[in-house]
Amino acid sequence: MNIYDTANQLAQEIKQSEEYVNYKMAKQALNLNTSLKEKMANFEKVRYETQIIAMQTGKQDEEKYKEMQKLYAELVEMDDAKKFFEAETKFNIVIADVNKIIGEAIRDVIQ
């Protein structure tokens, strides 16, 4: 088996994983509710802005951070949003773990 076959197999296994399937279903449920979808888009915008400011300045913008926390608190009160955040977190953990495994395998040539 060559490396590309292995990568394609990994991609298929990721798409069949419980974490991927749950994340995809949670995202679809979110997209069916236009009001919630809009609130989520606003939250994502504020979260992105908060991260950019922190990366550019090296410190947290307290006002933006509080705004993000407030939006998040409102969203997690809604079942579909809460399920989305939980599924997103679990999926991101899987992807981070896979990246870590690959990174450790090639560490000797990238350092």
pTM confidence score: 0.85
Q: Tens digit of pLDDT per residue, the chain (111 long)?
A: 699 999 999 999 999 999 999 999 999 999 999 999 999 999 999 999 999 999 999 999 999 999 999 999 999 999 999 999 999 999 999 999 999 999 999 999 988
Q: Are the CB atoms for 78 and 29 separated by under 8 Å?
A: no
Handedness of CA 86, 89, 93, 95 (dihedral sign): positive
Kindly list the domain boundaries of the chain, sorted by start residue. Answer: 18-102
Residues 6+ away with beta carbon under 8 Å from 111: none
CATH of domain 18-102: 1.20.1500
